Structure 1
Amino acid sequence: MPEPITRTIMETFDVPDSGYETVMMLVEMAPHVNSGLHTHPGFDSAYLLEGGLTVLELGKPDKPIRAGESWHVLPGAVHEVKIGDRNTKVLAVYVVQKGKPLATPWQPDSN
């Protein structure tokens, strides 16, 4: 049985004169997969190659995405991606702080 989400890093390179790096990745997701709420330590931009998905960002309306469309998420924004009923491929480009995890699962405050 294939993995529900596979991530293949295509290229990583430093952003000159900064503490950031750019990571280009192919993300493949099975139907009906949910990424779970998470954040990134930098910018997340993506282009949908195949399939369909919905981007859910806390405090914003749901954003359905079709093949051929792109979207972005600002640093630290809590969001998740829900996949439709087809296999989905995304070209994701992250510009993130070097040395930090590419994504961190989000946990609501326990206070």
Structure 2
Amino acid sequence: MNKMYCQTALLTASLLIAIPSFAAEPSLSAQAMQKNKTVVMETEYPAGHVTRIVKTVVPADAQAPLHEHPGIESGYILSGGGTLYVQGQPDRELKPGEAALVPPYTPHWFKNGHQETVILSTYVLESGKDPMTLLKP
């Protein structure tokens, strides 16, 4: 294997461990949920931020726990759909072709519908911070 491929594989593996999973109804293990995330690209910037593009496959009837990120999350629904809660905003029903933005450090969650949902998200995060902090409801 070439060096670039090995570095990309190691980076992807380490990021998958660092990206928290969805809490599902019915409950799935964190390891089972982690398999549903793919880091498509990550770019570090000298200004203290990192951009991360993540494809997430959310199982039917799963719900993310209440959480926040140290930066902006922009999500685009590729297929499926569900409800997005963002503190201070009305709940939004999202379907394929729709996008939403979650401001930095804003509590939010996504509850999937009765079919699998695929989301492509772009995160612009502060470097060196946990990508997600779980919050108590």
> What TM-score do the two structures reach when normalised by structure 2?
0.73
Match of 1:8 among 32, 35, 38: 38
1:12 maps to a residue whose letter is E
**Alignment pair present for 1:81 and 2:133:** no
Q: Distance in 2 between matches of 1:11 and 1:50?
A: 20
Secondary structure of 1:64's match? strand
Deviation at residue 86 of structure 1 after TM alignment: 0.5
**Alignment pair present for 1:46 and 2:75:** yes
Unmatched runs of 5 consecutive residues or more in structure 2:
1-27
CA contact (8 A) 1:4 1:33 kept: no
After superposition, the CA RMSD in angstroms is 1.7
Deviation at residue 65 of structure 1 after TM alignment: 0.4
Q: 1:90 to 1:7 in 2, by over 3 A?
A: same
> What TM-score do the two structures reach when normalised by structure 1?
0.89
Secondary structure of 2:63's match? coil
Unmatched runs of 5 consecutive residues or more in structure 1:
none
Of the two, which has the highest radius of gyration? 2
**Alignment pair present for 1:36 and 2:102:** no
Q: Distance in 2 between matches of 1:39 and 1:81?
A: 12
Sequence identity, in percent? 30
Q: Please state which structure has a larger fraction of its residues in helix.
A: 2
CA contact (8 A) 1:46 1:70 kept: yes
| Aligned match of 1:56 | 85
Higher relative contact order (CA 8 A, sep 6+): 1
Match of 1:23 among 52, 55, 75: 52
CA contact (8 A) 1:41 1:75 kept: yes
Q: Distance in 2 between matches of 1:22 and 1:100?
A: 13
Q: How many residues align structurally?
A: 107
Deviation at residue 102 of structure 1 after TM alignment: 1.1
1:9 maps to a residue whose letter is V
